Structure 1
Amino acid sequence: MKGQLTGMTGVYLVAAELSRRGFITSPTSRSAQGADLLVTNIYCSRSYAVQVKTNARTFNFWLMGIKNMSIHSKTFIYALVNLRKDRTEFFIVPSRIVAENLKVSEPSKRRKSTWYSFSIEYAKPYKDKWEIFK
């Protein structure tokens, strides 16, 4: 699956799951920075911005960007998705946890740019933690 299709698949799977759980969910423009989904409860009394990161090949980390180190709030949530062949995994992680635990990998002989990544080890406690959306 190509990168953009992988990302879109993750966004729509998260949107479908949130809708199934009773939330109103709307994808943002694919070029919007930050939030991939805007989510509210049925009373419009609680709203969330959700950034979705999706993997289809490597499943032990998600690539992020330098901005992910500084963007966090109680209503900004990451939905980290692994599209495994036999199942889909969801990790629903508060943005503060992502910001505090990003790994910075400096450029090397094999990689010309700095990588920012979030390890599955930090995500595991948040597997299927949909209740973060109260």
Structure 2
Amino acid sequence: MKLESQITGNIGLYFACYKLSRLGWNVMPTARNARGIDVVAYNKDGTRFIGVQVKALSKRNPVPIGGSLEKVMGDFWIVVNNVAKEPGAFILLPEEVRALAHRGDKDGRVSYWLQPNAYDRPEFRDAWQRIGHGNDIALTIPLDPE
């Protein structure tokens, strides 16, 4: 069964919200289809806020970013794929998304994509520890350990 893109997006968004809530974050999805971040989360004391961009996919597809890398915002990107069966989550930082983005040029139009082999890596797969708990300082894993 093929899901409509709106349903795919909803599943990915609420899956990410569920996982963040399990980590102790107070989570609020933002207005759907608005430019910007998809989720605002804050810790239990209200002293730390994070903005999250969620990209949901029905399978292991490239992630469309758009015509500019300036649209990559927030504190974290969560790519959720295979949403209808067994969702898998990949946690990236915006600077990693920009660094790993593939640039396409077709008929004079530029578009950016995050190819599956760029986001589907062990260091990003289910790496919720990168975001941390709602009462901890976020942990990050550098793209280049040096």
TM-score range, shorter chain: 0.7 to 0.9
**Aligned counterpart, 2:129:** 131
Q: Which amino acid aligns with 1:70?
A: E
**Gap change, CA 1:89 and 1:66, over 3 Å in 2:** same
**Aligned counterpart, 1:38:** 40
**Aligned counterpart, 1:63:** 64
Consecutive unaligned residues in structure 1, runs of 5 or more: none
- Normalising by structure 1, report the TM-score: 0.84
- Structure 1, residues 25-83: CA drift from partner, whole Å, max 9, x if none? 000001321101001111222211111111104x142111134x13567x621000112
Q: Which structure would you say has the larger RCO, counting Cα contacts within 8 Å and 6 or more residues apart?
A: 2
* In 2, Cα distance between equivalents of 1:43 and 1:115: 40
1 or 2, which has the higher helix percentage? 1
**Aligned counterpart, 2:116:** 120
Residues 9-28 of structure 1 correspond to what in structure 2 (within 5 A)? 9-28=11-30
**Aligned counterpart, 1:53:** 55
1 or 2, which has the higher strand percentage? 1
Check conservation: 2:104, 2:110, Cα contact below 8 A. Answer: yes
> Paired residues, what number?
128
Residues 92-107 of structure 1 correspond to what in structure 2 (within 5 A)? 92-107=91-106
Consecutive unaligned residues in structure 2, runs of 5 or more: 132-137, 139-146
* In 1, Cα distance between equivalents of 2:63 and 2:71: 16
**Aligned counterpart, 1:89:** 88
Check conservation: 1:24, 1:41, Cα contact below 8 A. Answer: yes
Deviation of the 1:6 alpha carbon: 0.6
Deviation of the 1:19 alpha carbon: 0.5
SS of 1:39's equivalent in the other structure is strand
Q: Which amino acid aligns with 2:9?
A: G
**Gap change, CA 1:85 and 1:4, over 3 Å in 2:** closer
Identity score, percent: 24
Q: Which amino acid aligns with 1:103?
A: H
Q: Which amino acid aligns with 2:20?
A: L
Q: Which amino acid aligns with 1:79?
A: I
